[in-house]
Amino acid sequence: MRDLPAAVAGYGALRRAPVRRRPAPGKVLPSLEAAIAACGLTDGATVSFHHHLRNGDAVLNAVMDALARAGLRGLHVAATSIFPVHAPLVGHIRSGVVGRISAAYISGPVAEAVSRGALAEPVVLRTHGGRARALDLGEVRVDAAFVAAPAADAMGNLSGRAGRAPCGTLGYPMVDVETARHVVAVTDSLVPYPAVPAEIPQTKVDFVVEVARIGDPSGIASGATRPATDPLGLGIAGQAAAVIAASGLLTEGFSFQTGAGGVSLATAAAVGREMAARGVTGSFASGGITGFHVEMLEAGLFRALMDVQCFDLAAVASLGRNPGHMAMSAATYAGPHVGGAVVDRLSAVVLGAAEVDTDFNVNVTTRADGTIIGGSGGHADTAQGARLTVVTTRLTAAGHAKIVPRVGTLTTPGETIDVVVTEAGIAVNPLRPELADRLRHAGLPLVSIEALAAKAAAAAERPAPAAPEGRIVAISEYRDGTVTDVIRAIGEAAP
Amino acid sequence: MRDLPAAVAGYGALRRAPVRRRPAPGKVLPSLEAAIAACGLTDGATVSFHHHLRNGDAVLNAVMDALARAGLRGLHVAATSIFPVHAPLVGHIRSGVVGRISAAYISGPVAEAVSRGALAEPVVLRTHGGRARALDLGEVRVDAAFVAAPAADAMGNLSGRAGRAPCGTLGYPMVDVETARHVVAVTDSLVPYPAVPAEIPQTKVDFVVEVARIGDPSGIASGATRPATDPLGLGIAGQAAAVIAASGLLTEGFSFQTGAGGVSLATAAAVGREMAARGVTGSFASGGITGFHVEMLEAGLFRALMDVQCFDLAAVASLGRNPGHMAMSAATYAGPHVGGAVVDRLSAVVLGAAEVDTDFNVNVTTRADGTIIGGSGGHADTAQGARLTVVTTRLTAAGHAKIVPRVGTLTTPGETIDVVVTEAGIAVNPLRPELADRLRHAGLPLVSIEALAAKAAAAAERPAPAAPEGRIVAISEYRDGTVTDVIRAIGEAAP
């Protein structure tokens, strides 16, 4: 080393050290057990997961099994969504390995077990944006984020577009890898450096574990559907599209989100035809992206797709091919804390509902008997952000009325719902008289929400079940962390 | 709002609040002055800039003029690089608007003024990776990062591939936007939402200001050259390529970085021919990327380009077109703090030098008379990371010897330099006897570094100037923040 002064005015002491070459460290560990040890996880730790592999995911179960074998107890599972495939989690709840759960969406056996009181502590259901907020602001501290990666290299570059089970964007764990104390990538395709193209860069990943399989590709595509073709669904979709067409918002730069359900996609198709007829080019479509959205991009109906999750392989392929098809993180998508998220730029969103009440409140969390069947996901985020929020629903399902005096669980506040479209007419929120005027002028069949509720009650074959009165088993949080509702246990609580 | 309990066991108090719709906030401010006010900048604040617009950049000067008009003094300019176009900064130094400078590279009038003692406080010269480390670890706290954005939308999505002065990747400010207290995008192309494709997402940007022009596109391409064609340069390049070919590293998965100088690119061309002859597919080429690198990617010589900065429009076009051409942040590129950066995966790097000494230390910071002419940039980062570091240099330049007993400024430690290639032979670092054996077996003309120094001294037409003895005007920091050398004032210090 050179002979230098010990300190320099205006700089301070000069740190000196011998220089050594820096071979790149290896991040690959031989097993999930080794990764758990490397993360230093202890009882009560928070472990996070994402749901891009949807009902094909094998990573959450494999990691939870390894955590159980490691003897850990009372863990907090902070997932983005939990699906029927995650049924083994019920066993880990009963054995005490899992003590807490938070998620944006829970369906299947885990949801049923929670509804029956399997967990002593209430589940926290957040919106997608609310979960990103809770992580970014430190309200939830993740000790280890487990990222299911369709392909990874030894340095931790993670690709969603290569490997045996490509899922495209990794928008949800983008939030986790920024804030978790440790990040473990789990892959079944450990590829030569560098993984191409990388969704998450190596700087965000601490460890890489190769497993036999991260999931079932057929389950991964379970979010995808095609537009509805049944007359009732097509009718509702056509009316929803007519609402958008008459709203005054279907002009140059129009932006749009729908779910991936059949009625939503049929609505999008009808809106697309109207855009083409008017010569309108939209700015973006957002959310979970399907091949159907890709067709709209490629037809020039939108300039961009803002993609937090690919729902099918056509979307995965487009992401690599089309610069206008852009991945985004859950925070960018829906975070209420980021100074304006993508959802806050939406012209219109079309959403579903398990129930809607006469205050326009929407329930997508519980079914008629009170059992948990989902949660907001992006429902409440987009409803608040969009200038026009349209809920499409049939009057009844499984014999129960879907337009009701009071929703079983308030997931999305009625203040953020503008229009409810059913096969029996269209109800406009009284908070939006100017919108009602526009729709009326367009000749659309407006009715009051009370009239729809009355028709639904008349059409229902089964009475509304009594509201559950058990202890509180889940909390429904809004985007900003305020509470919209509590969910109570059904039937007998588990011991 | 629903009637809910005030608190829930296991969850705590329920926060409640009325729900309101969330219109997207506007981030567009009418002027740089408005942005400065919005950031709440005060005397002594740290403002940061990036150099993707290179010697065509108009943003740093415009922002500094606005800061001066706002009456601010003693500011710390934390730039990635400073070029001749930034000459007006000298006036801001003399007037007291600027009190401190840090950068990875400084050339032109600002460098000369610093060398003559214009600043009371020493300039801190960091490597690209060291700068990322200093920001990420909070050693440098940026109050406002000004990001020159070829295109931006009103929400702060920033694209380097659209607009009037496209520069491609925004790898350097990716670090700043993660850590700065405020981020201001400066653009001359405010495009409809969303900017496509976005290099930096809207969540990272607080304010957007539109200006008449962010820079001169012809200056932006000033980093780009074509491979050398002169006999001396071609000869050195051929020998450097022969060193790599004989090193044992030119096998499947080979990774490579060169600068964008003529000799470096000619070396890359020769290495590419050898790869093709051997049927070797490389893993990646990294660093600043030119059309020449793109040709190598498209010829199948490498699977990926890891691009921290596009040096020409051919690179910009490739970035949008080829999924194997990936942008990376300065931290991913070269950070010593990220658990393994891209440079740490390099098989070989070919670097230039202003001076090399008989301990293999390299100076790329000052010229023979001691005036600052640059700084490490990625030089010391790649030298430490690569398994083989080759420095190419002529024996003399401007009449001065370039192989010297002792470099004027130690930028890159000799421990990390393996081979020096000149027109008068090849010197291998005595720390690498096994490499010398390989090269000798390949019939390469090895000489001692002392012999090269003697030949350089004999060929020099001008004597080595005396080392400057003025006060310390700059500190050369290594990747990890230790100090490799100090730089002293030349001639008379400015008043």
Chain A nearest CA to B197, separation (Å): 6
How does residue A431 score in pLDDT terms, banded at 50, 70 and 90? Answer: very high
Which neighbouring-strand residues pair with B100?
B76
Q: Which residue has the tokens 């889940």?
A: A474
Q: What is the pLDDT of residues A32-49, one digit of tens each?
A: 999 999 999 999 999 999
How does residue A23 score in pLDDT terms, banded at 50, 70 and 90? Answer: low
A contacts of B328 (beta carbons < 8 Å)? 201
User: Distance between the two ends of chain A, CA-based, in angstroms?
Assistant: 69
Contacts with B, A 67-106, CB within 8 Å: none
Across the beta sheet with B483-488, the strand order is B28-29, B207-210, B182-187, B144-149, B46-49, B75-79, B98-103, B123-125, B472-477, B483-488
Whether the CB of A140 is below 8 Å from some CB of chain B: the reply is: no
Asked if A41 and A143 touch (Cβ cutoff 8 Å), the reply is yes
**Mean pLDDT for chain B overall:** 95
Average pLDDT estimate for A215-243? 86
Distance between CA atoms of residues A64 and A70, nearest Å: 10
Distance between CA atoms of residues B282 and B288, nearest Å: 17
**Peptide bond preceding B197: is omega within 30 degrees of 0, i.e. cis?**
yes
Query: b vs e for A332-341, b when ≥16 Cβ sit within 10 Å of the residue's Cβ?
Result: bbbbbbbbbb
Chain B nearest CA to A230, separation (Å): 34
- Write the DSSP symbol of residue A364: -
Chain A nearest CA to B193, separation (Å): 7
Which neighbouring-strand residues pair with A304?
A284
Distance between CA atoms of residues A394 and A234, nearest Å: 12
- Closest CB to B27: pick one of A326, A339, A385: A339
H or E element at residue A61: helix A59-69
Asked if B63 and B49 touch (Cβ cutoff 8 Å), the reply is yes
Q: Which residue has the tokens 């909390």?
A: A475
Asked if A400 and A208 touch (Cβ cutoff 8 Å), the reply is no
How does residue A494 score in pLDDT terms, banded at 50, 70 and 90? Answer: very low
Distance between CA atoms of residues A63 and B189, nearest Å: 47
Q: Does residue B493 register a pLDDT over 80?
A: no
- Closest CB to B15: pick one of A253, A326, A481: A481
Is A203 within 8 Å of B331 when comparing Cβ atoms?
yes
Asked if A55 and A84 touch (Cβ cutoff 8 Å), the reply is yes
B contacts of A303 (beta carbons < 8 Å)? 192, 194, 196
Report the CATH architecture of B231-466.
3-Layer(aba) Sandwich (3.40)
H or E element at residue B111: helix B109-115
Contacts with B, A 447-476, CB within 8 Å: 472, 475
Q: Which residue has the tokens 């003094």?
A: B73
Tokens at residue B382, please?
């790649």
pLDDT for A27 equals 96
Tokens at residue A340, please?
């304006």
Is A194 within 8 Å of B22 when comparing Cβ atoms?
no
Average pLDDT estimate for B152-166? 94
Specify the length of chain B in residues: 495
Specify the length of chain A in residues: 495
pLDDT for B494 equals 41
Chain B nearest CA to A411, separation (Å): 11
User: Distance between the two ends of chain B, CA-based, in angstroms?
Assistant: 69
Whether the CB of B441 is below 8 Å from some CB of chain A: the reply is: no
Q: What is the pLDDT of residues B382-400, one digit of tens each?
A: 999 999 999 999 999 999 9
Helix pair A433-441, A231-246: axis angle to 10 deg: 110
Which residues, including other chains, have CB under 8 Å from residue B105's CB and lie 6 or more apart? B51, B80, B81, B82, B125, B374, B375, B376, B377
- Strand duo B282-289 + B302-310: pairing: parallel
Say which amino acid occupies B215: G
Q: Does residue A157 register a pLDDT over 50?
A: yes
pLDDT for B495 equals 40
Q: What is the pLDDT of residues B327-356, one digit of tens each?
A: 999 999 999 999 999 999 999 999 999 999
Report the CATH architecture of A28-220.
3-Layer(aba) Sandwich (3.40)
Whether the CB of B212 is below 8 Å from some CB of chain A: the reply is: no
Distance between CA atoms of residues A262 and A447, nearest Å: 24
Distance between CA atoms of residues A105 and A354, nearest Å: 14
Q: Which residue of B has its CA nearest to A418?
A: B21
Residue B134's nearest CA partner among B164, B178, B97 is: B178
Whether the CB of B44 is below 8 Å from some CB of chain A: the reply is: no
- Strand duo A12-13 + A182-187: pairing: unpaired
Asked if B399 and B456 touch (Cβ cutoff 8 Å), the reply is no
**Mean pLDDT for chain A overall:** 95
Q: What is the pLDDT of residues B26-38, one digit of tens each?
A: 899 999 999 999 9
Distance between CA atoms of residues A180 and B66, nearest Å: 39
Q: Which residue has the tokens 């497993």?
A: A211
Distance between CA atoms of residues B159 and B196, nearest Å: 6
Average pLDDT estimate for B270-275? 96
Q: Does residue A182 register a pLDDT over 60?
A: yes
Q: Where are the domains of chain B?
A: 28-220, 231-466
Chain B nearest CA to A122, separation (Å): 6
Q: How far is CA B331 from CA A216, B328, B381, B384, in A?
A: 35, 8, 11, 15
Distance between CA atoms of residues A250 and A245, nearest Å: 6
Is A326 within 8 Å of B194 when comparing Cβ atoms?
yes
pLDDT for B140 equals 97
Which residues, including other chains, have CB under 8 Å from residue B127's CB and lie 6 or more apart? B104, B334, B376, B377, B378, B379, B380, B381, B477, B478, B479
How does residue A184 score in pLDDT terms, banded at 50, 70 and 90? Answer: very high
Q: How far is CA B467 from CA A330, A470, B160, B470, B486, in A?
A: 56, 84, 43, 9, 12
Say which amino acid occupies A357: D
Is A203 within 8 Å of B320 when comparing Cβ atoms?
no
Q: Strand, helix or coil at A85?
A: helix
Q: Among A129-143, A251-265, A425-439, name the one with the lowest average pLDDT.
A: A251-265
Q: Strand, helix or coil at A239?
A: helix
- Closest CB to A202: pick one of B2, B14, B332: B332
How does residue B219 score in pLDDT terms, banded at 50, 70 and 90? Answer: confident
Whether the CB of A192 is below 8 Å from some CB of chain B: the reply is: yes
How does residue A492 score in pLDDT terms, banded at 50, 70 and 90? Answer: low
**Runs of H (alpha helix) within B247-321:** 262-278, 291-298, 313-321
Strands in B375-455 per DSSP E: 388-392, 396-397, 400-401, 403-404, 419-422, 425-428
Using CB atoms within 10 Å of the CB of residue A218, give its burial: 0 to 12 exposed, 13 to 18 middle, 19+ buried.
Answer: exposed
Using CB atoms within 10 Å of the CB of residue A120, give its burial: 0 to 12 exposed, 13 to 18 middle, 19+ buried.
Answer: middle
Whether the CB of A415 is below 8 Å from some CB of chain B: the reply is: yes
Complex ipTM more than 0.90, yes or no: yes
Q: How far is CA A257 from CA A80, A233, A288, A370, A377, in A?
A: 20, 18, 9, 28, 14
Query: Phi, psi at residue B308, to the nearest 5°?
Result: -95, -15
Tokens at residue A185, please?
């990538």
- Closest CB to A27: pick one of B16, B339, B480: B339
Domains A28-220 and A231-466 belong to one CATH topology: yes
- Closest CB to A196: pick one of B124, B304, B336: B304
Residue A47's nearest CA partner among A178, A182, A175 is: A182
Q: Does residue B80 register a pLDDT over 80?
A: yes
